[in-house]
Amino acid sequence: MTNIYIIRHGQDEDNANGILNGHRDMPLTEKWKEQAEQLAKKIKNAHIAFDKAYSSPLQRAYTTGKIITEALNRDAPEKLDILIERDFWMMTGKPIKDIEPLCSPNIIKSEIITYFLDPEGAETFPQLLERAKQALAYIQDKHKDENILITTHGDFGKMLYTTYYGLDRKDVLMNFHFGNSEILILSPDISADQAHMFLTQQYNH
């Protein structure tokens, strides 16, 4: 049985400033380096050990993963391009408040986040879901009966969760949140509604 633990990176400078990051590669804020260290302590206290760690190549994810693996005396994460955040393309670097005026009516508006669906050049959620399926297939094929750590991003993490548990992506976007430095467990022994661990209640896009 393979258990996959997914961590969303800590808050980066774009998150703090209300900017859509996508593939922008901004560093973590100092506050969230500390949050990653606190998360590492929680993982250690829960006696969770990882056999292998992977990370998105973007520094906000890799730094988060490296802080955690160092605290647990494990090898640094291996960077996998397939774990990168959704490509926001024309929306990259724009203020979050611009989503509705620029992308309506093709948006999904939840209580916490407004998602754009298909602005020019951007990766769509069906495409993101397909990439998530490929990433999970790679991990599950390569690692049998191991605990795997993945450090990635908000939108992509949600699609990993969606595909693993066979959920409706629109329902997940409307009703599920994956905050900075939160961790999900994807496991045959855990139901979808039990996947959240160590909630932080941080609501960055």
Output the pLDDT for position 30.
Answer: 85
Tokens standing for residue 154: 């908000």
Burial 92-106 (b: 16+ CB within 10 A, else e): bebebeebeeebeee
The helix-helix angle for 30-45 and 59-71 (nearest 10°) equals 40
pLDDT digits (tens, 9 = 90+) for 78-125: 999 999 999 999 999 999 999 999 999 999 999 889 999 999 899 999
Residue 162's closest CA among 52, 86, 51?
A: 86
CA angle at residue 169 from 179 to 9, to 5 degrees?
25
Peptide bond into 77 cis (omega under 30): no
Output the pLDDT for position 200.
Answer: 56
Output the pLDDT for position 36.
Answer: 86
Contacts of 53 (CB under 8 A, 6+ apart): 65, 68, 69, 74, 75, 76, 77, 78, 148, 149, 150, 151
Output the pLDDT for position 37.
Answer: 87
Output the pLDDT for position 49.
Answer: 92
Burial 181-190 (b: 16+ CB within 10 A, else e): bbbbbbbeeb
Fold exhibited by the domain 3-197: Rossmann fold (3.40.50)
Q: Where are the domains of the chain?
A: 3-197
Output the pLDDT for position 203.
Answer: 43
Pick out the chain residues at pLDDT < 70. Answer: 199-205
Output the pLDDT for position 199.
Answer: 59
